[in-house]
C-alpha cells in the first residue's frame, strides 16, 4: 500500500522542474554525457548525502551516483561528497534540489556537532525538538543523529510531554496526577515528561510519581543542580531554553541527563556545497 505521508523529494522536484527545465532543454544537447562532483566549500559534517543521491536517481535512474562521504563524515573545503556520471541534462535538472537537501541537512548536522563538542560531556545527550521544517522532520532528525545528537519525540503521538499550556488548562495537581495514572494504565510503555518552570513545580511533580523526565525550562545552572538533587534516582532531567554554544558546557556540568536545543534545526545555517561538471561531451 502506498504511504499517505508526502514524499519531500517528489514535492521538491515537482516545484522546481514543473513541466520541464526550459533552460537545460534549450541549451544542452540531448545526448551530452558528463561527469560531475558535489564539492564541499567549507568545513562541515555531512548529512543528506543519500537523500541527494536519491534526487539524482529520481530524475534519471540511469545516472551513476556514488556517495563518497557518508552522513556523519567531516569534510573540508575541496572534498568530494558525491560523484555523478550520465546525461548532463539529468544532472542539471537534479542539481538544485539535491544541493538544497544536502546544504540544509548538513547545516543541521554541523550545528549539532558544535553543540555536542561545546558540551564536552559524555553523560549528557543533546536532543532536537519538533521545531523542524514542515515536511522535512524525518530528514532533519536524521541529520541531528549524523551530527552526534539524539532525537526527542518525533511528534505528538509517540511520547507524552506536558508543557506550560497544558498545565494552564489542567485544574490542579490532583487532576494532573489522575491524568498521569490514566496514561500509565492505557499506554504503560510510553514515556511521560512534564515541564517545570520553578523548583516548587519540581517538588510537586516528584510527589505525583509515574513521571519519567522533568523538563527544566529556562532554569539557571544553580536551579538545575538543586532540581537534580531533589529528584536523584527518581527521574531524569532535561534542560531547555536559552542554551547557547557559550553556556552549554556550564549547563552540561550540572549533571543534567538531556539538553534540548531548538536552534539546531530551526536556525541552522546552510552549508556551502557546489556541483561542478568536469567532463561533458556528446
Active site residues: 96, 131, 163, 195, 217
End-to-end distance of the chain based on CA atoms, in angstroms?
42
Q: Give the list of residues 6+ apart from residue 16 with CB closer than 8 angstroms, or none.
A: 96, 97
Cell 513545580, located at residue? 201
Could you give the 3-state DSSP secondary structure of residue 275?
strand
Q: Give the list of residues 6+ apart from residue 119 with CB closer than 8 angstroms, or none.
A: 126, 248, 249, 251, 252, 259
Q: Which three cell numbers, joined as nine digits, stand for 79? A: 572534498
In total, the chain counts a number of residues equal to 282
Could you give the angle at which helices 8-17 and 49-59 cross, rounded to 10 degrees? 50
Q: What does the alpha-carbon distance between residue 49 and residue 70 come to, in Å, rounded to a whole number? A: 7
> What is the chain's percent helix, strand, coil content, to nearest 5?
40, 20, 35
Amino acid at each position: 500500500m502506498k504511504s499517505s505521508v508526502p514524499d519531500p523529494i517528489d514535492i521538491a522536484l515537482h516545484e522546481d522542474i514543473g513541466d520541464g527545465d526550459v533552460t537545460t532543454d534549450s541549451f544542452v544537447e540531448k545526448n551530452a554525457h558528463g561527469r560531475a562532483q558535489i564539492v564541499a566549500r567549507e568545513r562541515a559534517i555531512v548529512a543528506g548525502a543519500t537523500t541527494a543521491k536519491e534526487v539524482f536517481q529520481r530524475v534519471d535512474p540511469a545516472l551513476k551516483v556514488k556517495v563518497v562521504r557518508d552522513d556523519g563524515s567531516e569534510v573540508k573545503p575541496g572534498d568530494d561528497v558525491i560523484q555523478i556520471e550520465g546525461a548532463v541534462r539529468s544532472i542539471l535538472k537534479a542539481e538544485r534540489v539535491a544541493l538544497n537537501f544536502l546544504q540544509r541537512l548538513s547545516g543541521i548536522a554541523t550545528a549539532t556537532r558544535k553543540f555536542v563538542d561545546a558540551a564536552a560531556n559524555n553523560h549528557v545527550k543533546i536532543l532536537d525538538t519538533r521545531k523542524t521544517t514542515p515536511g522535512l522532520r524525518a530528514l532533519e532528525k536524521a541529520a541531528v543523529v549524523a551530527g552526534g545528537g539524539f532525537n526527542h519525540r518525533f511528534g505528538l503521538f509517540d511520547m507524552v510531554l506536558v508543557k506550560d499550556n497544558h498545565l494552564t488548562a489542567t485544574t490542579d495537581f490532583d487532576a494532573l496526577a489522575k491524568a498521569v495514572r490514566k496514561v500509565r494504565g492505557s499506554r504503560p510503555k510510553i514515556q511521560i515528561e512534564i515541564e517545570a518552570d520553578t523548583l516548587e513545580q519540581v517538588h510537586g511533580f516528584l510527589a505525583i510519581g509515574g513521571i519519567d523526565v522533568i523538563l527544566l525550562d529556562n532554569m539557571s545552572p544553580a536551579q538545575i543542580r538543586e532540581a537534580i538533587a531533589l529528584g536523584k534516582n527518581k527521574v531524569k532531567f532535561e534542560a531547555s531554553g536559552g542554551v547557547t554554544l557559550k553556556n552549554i558546557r556550564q549547563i552540561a556540568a550540572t549533571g543534567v541527563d538531556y539538553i534540548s536545543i531548538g536552534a539546531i534545526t530551526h536556525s541552522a545555517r546552510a552549508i556551502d556545497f557546489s556541483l561542478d561538471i568536469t567532463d561533458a561531451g556528446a
